[in-house]
A and B are shown apart, each in its own frame.
Chain A
Amino acid sequence: MTVTHHPNLTTLIAFSAGTLDEPYAAVIATHLAMSEAGRKTVRQINTIGGALLSAEPDAAMADGALDRLLDAAGDEPLQTPPAPDHALPAPLASYLPGGLESVRWKWTGPGVAVADLPVQRRSPSRLMLLRVGAGRRVPEHSHGGHELTLIIKGAYKDRFGVFAAGDIADHDEDVEHQPIAEDGEDCICMVAVDAPLNFRSRLIRTLQPLFGM
């Protein structure tokens, strides 16, 4: 898989530091599962954390802390996690144990459906799947916040180019775009948003509460 659209560097820095809200971290982790180049960049950024940790001053440990560790470290065999056996990238699969076939889509407009993925706690941001029928368009919209969209399957085109599986669109709030799914197959995306999307047309805006977008 050749990824041509990568996340913003600052998004990967926040992922590495661990400060992204879960929906964004889930989208980035899934993207990284699909992009060796992305994993390499994150390994490089992680080195900042490693260097900062190694430069931390030493805090005094409690008496007996080492004995406590050695007592707790049993002789159990090393954990070897099972190899991923899912058709989906592992980070997405953990949110979708039944696979894509199990998704309960919610119709939100002609050719467009969404499904929320459960995140751990109530947060201002939201994780969802978006399905755009082959050749259909997502209504033109801008963002009230940070929108991260990863293509899982199929492809779409907007004024930034063609986005295919593994590609990520990392849009700050000042972006307007109108993705159109490429012909041939439905385009399924994993999306993190931290604010409702703002649709430009007044009709769509009126319908927005119904769509739940």
Chain B
Amino acid sequence: MYAGSMSDIDFGQPAAPPPDSDPTELLRRVAEWRDKAALAGLFGLFAPKIKSMMLKLGASDALAEDLVQETLLTVWRKAQLYSPQRGAPSTWIFTIARNLRIDQLRRQSNRPYEDLEKLELASDLPLGSMLIEQSQIIARVTTALEALPSEQREVVRLSFIHDLAHSEIAEKIGIPLGTVKSRLRLAYDRLRPMLEDLQ
């Protein structure tokens, strides 16, 4: 769907993946055509990864399966909220899984996130054309995350995957809270150049 968008920039990446494995295309088919085959495609790409993330948080196998189901049902129901100019499908799906883990694993309210989502939909800010494919942004951020110094990568993972508050990270690895925050800032400084193409 973004044929030609890469015409003037060459990042040396291989050609676009075939439609069945391109999550942006699958999401578009879900939103526009209520296409269950496309939903099955998204399941194949993301269900095993969402389950892995939920298992790391201490969910039982059965609960992790339930949370995968709920995440993908939310994708099915809210597919039209996804805007390809504003982030990769994996980023959007991460935020859905995050909201579910707040609600069901931590038993806290995710209401502020839900309310914000409605607001994003109402935003009439015009979106410019994308200079770079979302999948490439994800690939570059993934590479940059792997290249982070291990102590920075550790705090990023503990925050985003293991769902620990900054104070809990400080306690777990035995460093001051200020050090946790400075490591996160340093990590973000390294990732920032890859994120500036996002709007």
B-binding residues in A (CB < 8 A) = 8-10, 13-14, 16-22, 25-26, 28-30, 32-33, 36, 39-40, 43-62, 65-66, 68-70, 72-73, 75-76, 78-84, 89-91, 93-94, 119-121, 123
Our pick among B48, B95, B112, B160 for the contact of A61 (Cβ within 8 Å) is B48
* Bound CA–CA A121/B198 (angstroms): 36
How many residue-residue contacts, CB under 8 A, span A and B?
227
Q: A18-B99, A43-B86, A66-B43 are in contact. Are A89 and B119 (CB under 8 A)?
A: yes
Any A CB within 8 A of the CB of B21: no
Any A CB within 8 A of the CB of B79: yes
Q: Is A121 a contact partner of B107 (Cβ separation < 8 A)?
A: yes
Q: Is B156 a contact partner of A48 (Cβ separation < 8 A)?
A: yes
Our pick among A30, A36, A49, A56 for the contact of B98 (Cβ within 8 Å) is A49
Q: Is A10 a contact partner of B69 (Cβ separation < 8 A)?
A: no
Q: Which applies to chain B's interface (DSSP): helix, strand, loop or mixed?
A: helix
Chain A residues with CB below 8 A from B159, complex form: 13-14, 17, 19
Chain A residues with CB below 8 A from B31, complex form: 78
Interface size on B, residues (CB 8 A): 86
* Bound CA–CA A198/B120 (angstroms): 37
Q: Is A78 a contact partner of B80 (Cβ separation < 8 A)?
A: yes
* Bound CA–CA A52/B164 (angstroms): 15
- Minimum Cβ distance to chain B for residue A67 (Å): 10
A-binding residues in B (CB < 8 A) = 31, 34, 36, 39-40, 43-44, 46-53, 55, 61, 64-65, 68-69, 72-73, 76-80, 86-95, 97-99, 101-102, 107-113, 115-123, 125, 137-138, 141-142, 145-146, 156-157, 159-161, 163-166, 168, 181, 184-185, 188, 191-192, 195-196, 198-199
* Bound CA–CA A208/B188 (angstroms): 40
